[in-house]
A = this chain, B = another copy of it.
């Protein structure tokens, strides 16, 4: 049963039952029954998660939102969209683009073609547009959700502002299916920019990556919509597993690459700002070389350099994916420390247990994706990486999960990012809302 396995084939359950309800009422009936009979359940959206949060661990019943995919309403004056939880992110984005005054979803991520908006909200997905449009805690205006006892929380507000009582929906944003099933989402969508452009820059030091970020805030300001980075090892890996035939526009090799995207309402003004930005970077020797897309095709090509990384990784072997928030001053040090550690242990190098340690991610948000490519998921390798990486992150005041969530992978490592009093109040809330513990067990909160 495909519902048992995550897309990386890293997590595998043994469920024999999947429910595919079409209505909120059906979900309510299913949960009420499961709760009364103490049957554990796993809510599942597009099954694109990276931490094993959306598949069963044992024989939990899967509740899929596949059949809940209707757009409920859209208001073209306010830009507020209301839809079922099972709507696919890209489908929503296309729907908004087709409106007379075009709009777009405030989030975008690699899995957009499969992931569900309900899953996005349940995991507080971040992605490529967070830098500009903020997190789902700000853009989600209302939720409809079903509690474990079958109660339907009808909080599907379409108001921008509403200060009446505790903001209960916020508890569900990022709760990874442990408090109930999200069935409907109301979200504020921004107007689709009339002009978009992309530049890729070659940079010699990580300090200069930081300087480029500060310069972009200063010179691009309100039109800056993405600031992504990857290192030279990432590019090497992408080239080696170049599935899509991507061309690599910069001739020389650089230790670091930065992708800057701008989105605005006036192409003439935006190009002018981009020009000023690039001139300042070159004049101050912050970047060595850069290329600006000349048309939509080149824009896609430049974005594919960044968006193709996860796929290139997964072609290269078994991938250990880490998703860390850390202060920029120590942002890249983790990659170097990890390479040194694996080197010292004699497991790192071509044809060795670990072939690649690559770093990329949303540097504009302080979010590093550290991917470690191994021959296979090997306990020897795992034990060299974990809990080292979590301890390192704790020591540098980071978060062990910036945007991927905890799931099964990191439930027992929560203590590296949250104090015991924080974990205690989380457990108290879980206990209060799901006293029988039927919702997505063994995940999210520590079991040890």
Contacts and interface: CB of A to CB of B under 8 A. Distances in A.
B429 A399 contact: no
Interface residues of A, number: 94
A126 B265 contact: no
A153 B269 contact: no
A426 B433 CA distance: 11
Copies of this chain present = 2
Interface string A432-446: 110000000000110
B130 A164 contact: no
Interface string A138-157: 11000000010001111101
A167 B163 contact: no
A160 B367 contact: yes
Contacts of A429: 166, 168, 429, 432
B421 A153 contact: yes
A319 B168 CA distance: 32
Interface stretch (A111-119, A211-219, A278-286, A373-381): A211-219
A302 to B, nearest CB: 22
Nearest to A217: B191
A163 B414 contact: no
7 contacts: A134-B134, A163-B403, A164-B417, A167-B170, A168-B426, A170-B173, A222-B265
A272 interface: yes
A325 interface: yes
Contact of A166 (B123, B147, B269, B426): B426
A285 B406 CA distance: 55
Contact of A138 (B139, B159, B166, B328): B139
A405 interface: yes
A414 B77 contact: no
A273 interface: yes
A162 interface: yes
A240 interface: no
Contacts of A151: 421, 424-425
Contacts of A223: 222
A273 to B, nearest CB: 6
A186 B415 CA distance: 21
B273 A161 contact: no
Contact of A399 (B159, B217, B398): B159
A158 interface: yes
Contact of A161 (B157, B191, B366, B419): B366
